[in-house]
Amino acid sequence: LQFSEKLAQIQTDRKSVLCVGLDPDLSRLPKHYSGKDPLESVLDFCTRIVDATLDYACAYKPNLAFFEALGVGGLEVLKSVTEHIDGRALTIADGKRGDIGNTAKKYAHSFFEEYNFDSCTVSAYMGRDSVDPFLDYPGKLVFVLVKTSNEGSGDFQDLIVNEEALYQHVARKVEEWGDVAAGEVGFVVGATQGDTLSELRTRHPNIPFLVPGIGAQGGSIENTMAAHAEKGRVIVNSSRSIIFASDEEDFAKSAGLAAQKLAKLLI
């Protein structure tokens, strides 16, 4: 099965397009972890978040930076977390890599074979040969950064090239590359970007979108829903507003409730 077919299935079953972003910032973990071993704390935190939110999530997106920042052992934790998810939801390695062909090949190997992620995020500034190696994997999907959710996303992405914005140009090229690939391509399109989501949806009706920026980043649910054409075509990510819904010992319960509530708003 292609990624988007699995996604459509799981979204229908769970009535949810929600992806829970795993950004286990040590400094924001619930208070009772304070003073305990960081690696064990993050592993316990993440697995409890997964268990509490699984009924309301179609996917999990570990943000690799937060695992890498824990040092070498952080990657062990990342692996344990994906093993704990164990195919019960789709997984997206959020690392935004982008490098020359022989190097991109290694990243793809790492994400798709070492860690067995279903998907990953990629930056396309270096062009086609930096994206292609990720597209060689049937059943896997690559979300390429098109229009991101952060404040500085306009600095380069909105520049006009040949009467269209750079991000529009990137989107067109990436869809072309995807047409000849074994794997699938998707776009990262921030929820904070006003009409951009619906405009890109109109131009690219069949491309799956990964939409970050809901919640802590302030993206609106209405705008997001405007881009929600059909199942398997959009994944809406929220990280901090779910995983840090409470800093008490019952944080997992609060995360589950936050996920349930948001999943319902998004359908």
How many residues lie near a second copy (CB under 8 A)? 56
Whether 96 is catalytic: yes
Q: Does 66 contact a second copy by CB under 8 A?
A: yes
Nearer to a second copy, 56 or 132 (CB): 132
Question: Do residues 115 and 137 lie in contact, with contact meaning Cβ atoms separated by under 8 Å?
Answer: no
C-alpha to C-alpha distances, 194 to 164, 218, 227, 229, 230, nearest whole angstrom: 17, 11, 11, 17, 20
Among 12, 31, 34, 100, binds a second copy (CB under 8 A): 100
Contact between residue 211 and residue 234 where contact means Cβ atoms under 8 Å apart: yes
Catalytic pick from 6, 31, 36, 96? Answer: 96
> Which string of x and - marks every residue 204-223 that binds a second copy (by CB under 8 A)?
-------------x------
Q: Which amino acid is at 209?
A: F
Answer yes or no whether residue 109 interacts with a second copy by CB under 8 A.
yes
Q: What whole-number distance in Å separates Cα of residue 170 and Cα of residue 98? A: 14
Q: Among residues 12, 36, 69, 87, which is the contact residue for a second copy, using CB under 8 A? A: 69
SS3 260: helix
Footprint on residues 141-180 left by a second copy (CB under 8 A): 145, 148-157, 159-162, 166, 169-170, 173
In angstroms, the Cα distances linking 188 to 62, 132, 254 are 15, 17, 27
Residue 115 C-beta: closest distance to a second copy, Å: 8
By the rule CB under 8 A, 263 interacts with a second copy: no
- By CB under 8 A, is residue 14 in contact with a second copy? no
Pick the closest to residue 142 from 92, 196, 204 (CA basis): 92
Biggest CA pair distance of the chain: 55
User: What is the C-alpha to C-alpha distance for residues 57 and 4, in angstroms, rounded to an integer?
Assistant: 15
Residues with catalytic function: 96
Q: Which residues bind a second copy (CB under 8 A)?
A: 23, 25, 63, 65-66, 68-69, 71-72, 75-76, 79, 94-104, 106-107, 109-110, 114, 123-130, 145, 148-157, 159-162, 166, 169-170, 173, 217
